[in-house]
Copies of this chain bind each other. A is one copy, B any other.
Amino acid sequence: MRDDGPESVSGEIILNVCTTCRDAGDPDPQAERPGAILARVLEAALAARASAGDPLPIRVEPVACLSVCKRPCTLAASAPGRWTYVWGDIDPATHVEDILDGLAKYAASQDGVVPWRERPDIFKKGVVARIPPFPRRDAAE
């Protein structure tokens, strides 16, 4: 990424939600996928927080595949200069507020690393992987 351009919101977090995977044993192949439900519930919860005067700098971006197919629902949070995190085993019915609380801490952190004891349980148990921020060559050299 050479330049984020004038529209850049440097603190914005991209939250990718995989919308393809089915729950194991889901009896209805036509049912709305859990990740599609999760994306919808996250958007609604973000809108509710914004209306309540507590906006979060998060943009939900559905994506066709995060290659974590055995642990739906799956999410990835990324932002410039921060560690990227991938989580699985997320339940849209019970985990959304905990996820937003955890992402508020991620947003407030300098590099995306939230102290272990401050993370919601779903971020501890559901972690699939994390990747360091891509090096800023101008800062590193």
A interface with B by C-beta (< 8 Å): 1-10, 14, 16, 61, 63, 65-68, 74, 76, 78-81, 84-86, 127-132, 134-139, 141
Contacts and interface: CB of A to CB of B under 8 A. Distances in A.
Copies of this chain in the oligomer = 2
B1 A134 contact: yes
Nearest to A76: B131
Specify the main secondary structure of chain A where it touches its partner.
loop
Contacts of A2: 3-4, 8, 10, 80
Contact of A134 (B5, B68, B78, B130): B78
Given A1-B1, A137-B5, A129 B132 contact: no
Contact of A65 (B86, B130, B134): B130
Contact of A136 (B5, B76, B81, B127): B5
Contacts of A16: 131-132
Q: Name which of A67, A76, A127 has the most chain B CB atoms within 10 A of its CB.
A: A67
A129 B7 contact: no
A127 to B, nearest CB: 5
Contacts of A134: 1, 14, 78-80
A2 B10 CA distance: 8
B136 A1 contact: yes
